[in-house]
Amino acid sequence: VIDLVSMGIKLQGGILTLLDQQLLPGEERWIECRSLETMTGAIKALKVRGAPAIGIAAVLFLASKTLEGARRDDLMAMSVALRESRPTAVNLMNYLDRIDRLLAEPGESWGNRLCSEAQSIFQEDVALCESIARNGVALFPQRVQVLTHCNTGGLATAGRGTALGVITKAHEEGREIHVWVDETRPLLQGTRLTAWELGKTRIPYTLICDNAAGMLMRAGRVDCVLVGADRIAMNGDFANKIGTYSLAVLARHHNIPFYVAAPETTLDVHCPSGAAIPIEERRAEEVRGIPGHPGQAASGVPASSGAAPVFNPAFDVTPAALVTGWIFDTGVRRAGDWN
Ligand code: MRU
């Protein structure tokens, strides 16, 4: 019997359900993912999002289909479609590789093995998050003001999160921590999701517009920047939510430590440098309006012409040279540790 529950993903009674992250924090609605179309649609629409969570949801979906009696060929085809649903976060590809290897093995016991592999992937991620948190907290002084971007918490993983997991662990261990939460345009993962998670744990935070980071750093009110990653190349360059690179440049200018926290499942062994990381471009409407109000500003007035040309990359690449340290589950890497 498989029974797996995280903040945003459940596999219970053979059915995968996801907390619709696009509706948060206004509404907490769980959606059943019984068809491939619903599952890939949920990934594309960011109902499930965050690099580890995307991959975990995809493999649990394949486990649910296996429990339902799906044929091996059909599962292989589903795996291809899932792989194509979002291009940048490499955890999806890394986890599907593990499932595809089992599907390709001869013999008839693949179904059980697939289900236990999916279960291991979920449980491993919980443990990876704990290790990241332990390694990250060791870097923090007793009093610290951290700036973070996007959402890297329980919603984005099976466990306590990556960058946000370090923050919640530091709070639990008695550090006096205050978090500057970037709103994270265009889809407001900071405003909607990180603020929601921090509110639940009662960690002091303040929401800021993305473009307030520079003035806060200049005023000496940021001690470190801590972000997650969607894909880390073998030279330490990494892709993360659009705006991360700007934060790294600002941090360097103001001599503020800049850390990235991620499990080793976010490493891409096929990617020699950031230049090889595929960057997802998303719909113009996301930039023309705000979430929940397509084409409208918060006041309800049109935010921009429905025909305004838009460039909407979902991620950017931060070069390794701007990173103070990479907080992995295996330990903290420094610039000299990449060869
Ligand atoms: O487009 P999203 O919301 O999936 O982007 C998520 C991020 O950029 C996160 O920082 C990253 O996936 C790390 S989550 C632990």
157 lines ligand 1 (CB under 6 A): yes
190 lines ligand 1 (CB under 6 A): no
Q: Which has the closest alpha carbon to 150: 199, 183, 177?
A: 183
Residue 100: in which H helix or E strand, if any? helix 90-104
Ligand 1 atom at minimum distance from 227 CA: 10
Where on the phi/psi map is residue 50: left (φ > 0), alpha (ψ -120 to 50), or beta? Answer: left
Instruction: Give the model's pLDDT for residue 292.
Output: 72
Distance from the CA of 35 to the center of ligand 1, in angstroms?
Answer: 24
Q: What angle do CA 80, 227, 290 make, to 5 degrees?
A: 75
52 lines ligand 1 (CB under 6 A): yes
What three-state secondary structure class fits 176?
strand
89 lines ligand 1 (CB under 6 A): yes
**Alpha-carbon span 117 to 92, nearest angstrom:** 14
Instruction: Give the model's pLDDT for residue 28.
Output: 97
Where on the phi/psi map is residue 202: left (φ > 0), alpha (ψ -120 to 50), or beta? Answer: left
What three-state secondary structure class fits 46?
coil
Nearest-CA residue for atom 10 of ligand 1: 228
**Alpha-carbon span 268 to 183, nearest angstrom:** 28
Low-confidence ranges of the chain (pLDDT < 50): none
Phi, psi of 99 (to 5 degrees): -70, -40
**Alpha-carbon span 115 to 316, nearest angstrom:** 34
**Alpha-carbon span 68 to 307, nearest angstrom:** 45
CA diameter of the chain? 64
What three-state secondary structure class fits 9?
strand
Instruction: Give the model's pLDDT for residue 295.
Output: 56
Question: Residue 237, Cβ neighbours under 10 Å: how many?
Answer: 23
Q: Alpha carbon of 212 to those of 135, 215, 219, 237, 324: distances in Å?
A: 29, 6, 11, 25, 22
131 lines ligand 1 (CB under 6 A): no
The one-letter amino acid code at 303 reads A
- Residue of 20, 22, 194, 230 best suited for mutating to test ligand 1, as the one with most atoms within 8 Å of CB: 230
Distance from the CA of 230 to the center of ligand 1, in angstroms?
Answer: 6
Ligand 1 atom at minimum distance from 315 CA: 8
Q: Alpha carbon of 105 to those of 65, 109, 122: distances in Å?
A: 18, 9, 22
Contact by Cβ (8 Å): 24, 192: yes
Instruction: Give the model's pLDDT for residue 303.
Output: 61
Ligand 1 atom at minimum distance from 241 CA: 8
Nearest-CA residue for atom 15 of ligand 1: 152
Contact by Cβ (8 Å): 103, 72: yes
51 lines ligand 1 (CB under 6 A): yes
Instruction: Give the model's pLDDT for residue 332.
Output: 98
Contact by Cβ (8 Å): 83, 75: no
Nearest-CA residue for atom 6 of ligand 1: 50
**Alpha-carbon span 314 to 274, nearest angstrom:** 15
What three-state secondary structure class fits 312?
coil
Distance from the CA of 51 to the center of ligand 1, in angstroms?
Answer: 5
Distance from the CA of 241 to the center of ligand 1, in angstroms?
Answer: 6
Q: Which has the closest alpha carbon to 168: 216, 209, 134?
A: 134
Distance from the CA of 88 to the center of ligand 1, in angstroms?
Answer: 10
Distance from the CA of 54 to the center of ligand 1, in angstroms?
Answer: 9
150 lines ligand 1 (CB under 6 A): yes
Residues marked active site are found at 230
